Amino acid sequence: MPNDTRDPKYPGFLPGLHAIDGYGSGGFRFGGMSHRGSILALPSGVYAWSVLDPSDITAASFGQLFAEERGLIEHVLIGVGVAMGPLDPELKRRLSVAGIRAEPMQTGAAARTYNILLGEKRRVAAALLAVP
């Protein structure tokens, strides 16, 4: 799944809200393009996310989400791949302090739920680990 052209000022970034059109084969389709690797779908746009493994999902990996304007996100769906596991306690704490409810689930379920909540105009974000 090749990467398409994105905003040249911010490589790995597509501005705006975009539904997830597809996932698998190590990447995602959204906004008429494809991206190989994990993504953060935020109110400001879709970002390439350097996370490769569920163990990489930490508070530090959510820097871009924490940089969003406060109040724009009330719920983050965390696609942890194909197997469930606990979230990093520091990440849970930081999200709670920011007033953001986190819900970990398999990546496919997170992408589908994100699309539904986005369609309902909810203040939602998704952190999606790429799956084979």
Instruction: Give the sheet arrangement for strand 101-105, strand by strand.
Output: 13-15, 45-49, 38-42, 124-128, 75-79, 101-105
Domain presence at residue 48? yes
Q: What is the CATH number of the domain that holds 118?
A: 3.40.1230.10
Q: How many domains does the chain have?
A: 1
pLDDT digits 0-9 by tens, 46-67: 999 999 999 999 999 999 999 9
Domain presence at residue 74? yes
Domain presence at residue 10? no
Q: What is the pLDDT of residue 53?
A: 94
Domain presence at residue 3? no
Domain presence at residue 6? no
Structural domain range at position 74: 15-128
Domain presence at residue 8? no
pLDDT tops 50 at residue 114: yes
- Output the pTM of the full model: 0.90
Per cent of the chain over pLDDT 90 is 87
